[in-house]
């Protein structure tokens, strides 16, 4: 939306209307829902540009019309020279050193934890803001872990490596934040149903090969088609998986509340894209269901899909290629007071990864933090 400086030429009523419109525009801009076209364009690097998340970052930058003056696709040596498409034009992939030398203002990283540990500090030392999708920096107390709808306000000009949370955590906290504000969450019990794109291309290939009856490389120890695998990532000493403990620790960090108790069971299912979560939430304060629905309806980035008579509820099929977090099956847990059940679905490659990273960049830009 572009309003421009037309106020002085308008009659009184028009001026009042214009002022309201300008005010609404400013609020949307401050809330990072729109970017003003006045803002400068910038050089953007995507590190890991040939991977599943990296490609989605390019797509989301393009679709959201992020003001890219020059795109620098970066990848490991074996991908240097390959081409990626952006806004209908081919771009040659460059290596890490060349990526730094090109001096982008911001680098969206999705190249894995060890690459990020090695290279994010080098990009940052060159004055480049890194938004990193790996788990390398998420729990580092000196780094911010950001979901813009929840805690963008923690960001400052001094943050040079910003962590993008895990996909299953992002969609949950977007839905929980407005409820925590109103009723104070005491405890969360979450079970996830995560799609194979969360693992990467090798897992998508495994699923598709199994469906075609073709032998191929296995991303998982077991078949994934016609199966459900109650393990995501490696097991830790406490019997939980790394993915489960990410949900526990990242939720507290993003929501800035160590008192919230979280327990998680994370499960891989044979779905190509979109993670689903059954979330049970115990609050400190009493709530009414219409109030919960109202809060979620008004929460940024949330869409409520709830109509039992019409059998309407969120599903990965409908969340595909969407940026929102979809919430439904909202009902009281009848076994104990002040407790709610709900079902949360989102596209894990978009809001769970690429979109969240691009939204952080949009926030930095809109708030002059670059």
Query: Which spans of this chain sit near ligand 2RA (rule: CB under 6 A)?
Result: 166-168, 194, 198-199, 232, 243, 348
- Report the nearest approach of ligand 2RA to the CB of residue 128 (Å): 23
Residues 7, 15: contact at Cβ < 8 Å? yes
- 73 vs 198, beta carbon nearer ligand 2RA: 198
One of 2, 25, 180, 275 is an active-site residue; which one? 275
Residue nearest to ligand 2RA (CB): 198
Cα 250 to Cα 272: distance, rounded to the nearest angstrom: 25
- Report the nearest approach of ligand 2RA to the CB of residue 174 (Å): 15
Tell the burial category of 320 from Cβ atoms under 10 Å away from its Cβ (0-12, 13-18, 19+).
middle
- Report the nearest approach of ligand 2RA to the CB of residue 34 (Å): 28
167-183 vs 242-254: helix axis angle to the nearest 10?
Answer: 40
- Report the nearest approach of ligand 2RA to the CB of residue 57 (Å): 14
Ranges of beta strands (E only) in the chain are 42-47, 68-74, 83-86, 89-92, 106-109, 129-132, 144-145, 161-163, 185-194, 261-268, 275-283, 302-304, 325-332, 339-346
- 166 vs 305, beta carbon nearer ligand 2RA: 166
- Tell me how crowded residue 366 is: count the other CB atoms within 10 A of its CB: 20
Q: In the annotation, is 2 catalytic? A: no
- 198 vs 328, beta carbon nearer ligand 2RA: 198
Q: Which residues make Cβ contacts (< 8 Å) with residue 87, sequence separation at least 6?
A: 62
- 102 vs 269, beta carbon nearer ligand 2RA: 269
- 120 vs 232, beta carbon nearer ligand 2RA: 232
- Report the nearest approach of ligand 2RA to the CB of residue 229 (Å): 11
Cα 18 to Cα 20: distance, rounded to the nearest angstrom: 5
Cα 319 to Cα 275: distance, rounded to the nearest angstrom: 9
One of 2, 25, 167, 320 is an active-site residue; which one? 167
Per 3-state DSSP, the chain is made up of helix, strand and coil in percentages (nearest 5) of 35, 25, 40
Q: In the annotation, is 167 catalytic? A: yes
Strand partners, 71: 44
Q: Is the torsion defined by CA of 214, 231, 349, 353 positive or negative?
A: negative
- Report the nearest approach of ligand 2RA to the CB of residue 262 (Å): 15
Catalytic residues, which ones? 167, 275
């Amino acid at each position: 939306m572009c309003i421009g400086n037309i106020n002085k030429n308008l009659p009184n009523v028009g001026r009042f209307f214009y002022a309201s419109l300008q005010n609404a525009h400013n609020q949307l801009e401050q809330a990072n829902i729109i970017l003003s076209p006045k803002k400068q364009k910038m050089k953007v690097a995507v590190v890991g540009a040939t991977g599943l998340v990296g490609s989605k970052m390019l797509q989301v930058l393009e679709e959201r019309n992020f003001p890219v003056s020059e795109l620098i696709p970066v990848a490991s040596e074996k991908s240097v020279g390959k081409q990626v498409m952006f806004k209908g034009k081919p771009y040659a992939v460059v290596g890490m050193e060349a990526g730094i030398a090109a001096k982008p203002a911001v680098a969206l990283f999705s190249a894995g934890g060890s690459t990020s540990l090695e290279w994010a500090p080098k990009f940052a030392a060159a004055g480049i803001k890194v938004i990193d999708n790996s788990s390398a920096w998420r729990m580092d107390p000196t780094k911010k872990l950001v979901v813009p709808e929840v805690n963008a306000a923690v960001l400052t000009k001094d943050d040079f490596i910003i962590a993008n949370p895990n996909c299953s955590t992002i969609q949950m906290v977007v839905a929980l934040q407005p409820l925590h504000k109103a009723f104070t969450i005491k405890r969360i019990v979450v079970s996830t149903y995560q799609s194979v794109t969360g693992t990467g291309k090798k897992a998508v290939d495994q699923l598709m090969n199994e469906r075609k009856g073709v032998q191929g490389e296995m991303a998982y120890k077991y078949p994934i088609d016609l199966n459900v695998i109650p393990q995501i990532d490696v097991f830790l000493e406490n019997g939980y998986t790394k993915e489960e403990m990410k949900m526990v620790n990242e939720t507290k960090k993003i929501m800035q509340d160590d008192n919230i108790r979280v327990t998680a069971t994370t499960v891989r299912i044979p779905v190509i894209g979109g993670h689903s979560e059954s979330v049970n939430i115990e609050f400190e304060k009493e709530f009414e269901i219409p109030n919960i629905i109202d809060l979620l309806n008004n929460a940024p980035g949330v869409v409520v899909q709830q109509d039992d008579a019409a059998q309407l509820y969120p599903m990965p099929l409908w969340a595909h290629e969407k940026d929102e977090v979809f919430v439904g099956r909202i009902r009281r847990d009848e076994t104990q007071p002040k407790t709610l059940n709900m079902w949360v679905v989102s596209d894990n490659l978009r809001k769970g990864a690429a979109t969240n990273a691009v939204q952080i960049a949009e926030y930095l830009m809109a708030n002059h933090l670059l």
